[in-house]
Amino acid sequence: YAPNSRHPRKLNSRGSARASELVAARMAAGRKRAPAPVWSACRASLSAAWRDKHLVLFSAEHTLVVTALLWALEVAINLWVIHRVTYTEIDWKAYMGEVEGVINGTYDYTQLKGDTGPLVYPAGFVYIFTVLYYITDHGLNIRLGQYVFAGFYLITLLLVFRIYHRTQKVPPYVFFFVCCASYRIHSIFVLRLFNDPVAMMLLFGAVNLFLDGRWTLGCALYRQAREMSAHVPMTRHLAVSVKMNVILFAPGLLFLLLSEFGLMKTLPKLTLCALIQVVLALPFLLVNPVGYVSRAFDLGRQFLFKWTVNWRFLPEEVFLNRYFHLCLLIAHVTTLSVFALKRWTRSGTSVWALLKDPSDRKEVVPKLGSNHILPLALVVQVFVRARVSVRLLMCVYTSVCACSSVTFLSQTVLVLFSSNFIGMCFCRSLHYQFYVWYFHTLPYLLWSGNVKKLAHLLRVLILGLIELAWNTYPSTTYSSLSLHMCHLIILMCLWFSPGPAPPAQDTHNKAKRR
């Protein structure tokens, strides 16, 4: 019968065959079109997965997931480096020889020495490496020492990742460059066993305490970190202030303490820092105080030109010239002062106001503009007119407070990290192990600059150029110049970044600040 016909009629055999072919063709076509919805669903799933991956890599909300995966990966990387890459002896035996003299009862610093020369590290170094001396079977079990320093590295990463998570400034994909991508940092930690990583681990612990409002305990830990790294050789006279260690964080820390507590409440915390150093050094001060101070804080030592990373393009006589050191000191102090006055201080606030108690300060309320957030009263008025529930109002208020808290934490970290970075820019010499002093802070500084024209790719390129400069051995004119250019770009980004916001009214943090 003919299809679609109201009155059926009989077909001949040829017509019947033709009809059967048409029906079969339609059924086949239907079977071919059936998988289309399945393919669309798969394609939609893949697209959603790709979008989620993009969010995981670029949204700061997923920092914990990414950092957890990278930290687990770092465990494997450190084990691989320890077992596959040859250990290089530089200072470990010297460290062990120096603390062995103390263990044997010698407390006169002028009599303590190792394979590479006299002991030039403060008392904090002696205590920590004495513990390592016993853990590593008098320093002979170097493989165990590498495992210990791998633990230091992983602890440092946890502390750094927590800072980034609290501040939410850096997209998660950047954390790969904070850990896995640097050969030099792994070498400093687990292949060289320098004391610089121990100092930075304590420093990042102190920064975490500052973020938690534990200022007194943080100052104590910072002081211990300073004890670990105050050995850095310095020029005499005025150039003594140009130091490449954690004391470069001190100007920023002093600024934050004055901002939080004022002068009168800051003095007890500074006194505590001094007392901790005296107590740690007491066994050596009782025997030979002059010898301890002159050795632990030697002001007359010189850096060797052959080890410099940042000034290779200069003649050696200029590198060793005291007037060059003085120029660096002046540039360092000037840059710090300008940043403290113009970038760290809120607009319209006098730096002298920092000396007052926070309760006695008059906060400057900025005029409303197109780039300012509406005041809370206006927001409440709009919501009330719209008959929005009180619960929703509280959610909005909680979100505003959370944003203010994150801004406050970000500013705290930015002041500390930029203070250290400015010092690194004007150091009279940078040696290869000094890379760890600012490596973990570089992504934060780059992404805190908030310069829209400085795209993500350019920021990553700057990190790569800095890594390349520190991995070039021996350093060359071009590697030193490229390092200075990258430093200049970061410094300019920090200068043109937005100023600090008004202080957060966070009662929870205020209750813990002590």
Name the strand (E) or helix (H) holding 456: helix 456-471
DSSP annotation of 476 reads -
DSSP annotation of 190 reads I
The predicted structure's pLDDT at residue 233: 36
The predicted structure's pLDDT at residue 237: 31
Residue 56 pLDDT more than 70?
Answer: yes
**Contact criterion met (CB below 8 Å) for 472 and 444:** no
Place of tokens 């029906």: 23
Residue 366 pLDDT more than 70?
Answer: no
The predicted structure's pLDDT at residue 357: 75
- CB-based contacts of 251, cutoff 8 Å, min separation 6: 336, 340, 419
Q: What are the CA-CA distances from residue 305 to residues 83, 229, 316, 463 (Å)? A: 33, 21, 6, 25
Determine the straight-line distance between the first and last CA of the chain, rounded to whole angstroms.
96
In this structure, of 11-25, 79-93, 253-267, the range with the lowest mean pLDDT score is: 11-25
- CB-based contacts of 198, cutoff 8 Å, min separation 6: 128, 152, 228
Residue 225 pLDDT more than 80?
Answer: no
The predicted structure's pLDDT at residue 58: 83
Joined together, the tokens standing for residue 279 give 């107590």
The predicted structure's pLDDT at residue 379: 54
**Listed residue (331, 338, 360, 328) closest to 255, CA to CA:** 338
Alpha helices, DSSP H, located in 114-141 = 123-135
pLDDT band at 354 (very low <50, low <70, confident <90, very high): confident
Residue 14 pLDDT more than 60?
Answer: no
Give the model confidence (pLDDT) of 91-140 as tens digits: 999 999 999 999 999 999 999 998 888 888 888 889 999 999 999 999 99
Residue 200 pLDDT more than 50?
Answer: yes
The predicted structure's pLDDT at residue 241: 28
113: β partners? 118
114: β partners? 117
**Contact criterion met (CB below 8 Å) for 59 and 51:** no
Give the model confidence (pLDDT) of 482-498 as tens digits: 999 999 999 999 998 77
Give the model confidence (pLDDT) of 244-302 as tens digits: 478 899 999 999 999 999 899 899 988 888 888 888 899 999 999 999 988 877 655 67
- Sequence spans of domains, the chain: 57-359+375-512
- CA dist 300 and 305 (Å) reads 16
Residue with more model confidence, 26 or 262: 262
The predicted structure's pLDDT at residue 418: 96
Place of tokens 């950047």: 174
DSSP annotation of 368 reads P
DSSP annotation of 425 reads H
- CA dist 3 and 157 (Å) reads 76
Place of tokens 């008025």: 381
Alpha helices, DSSP H, located in 114-214 = 123-135, 142-167, 175-178, 183-186, 196-211
Q: What are the CA-CA distances from residue 121 to residues 101, 195, 232, 307, 372 (Å)? A: 13, 10, 8, 20, 50
Q: According to the 3-state scheme, what is the secondary structure of 226-264? A: HHHHCCCCCCCHHHHHCCCCHHHHHHHHHHHHHHHHHHH
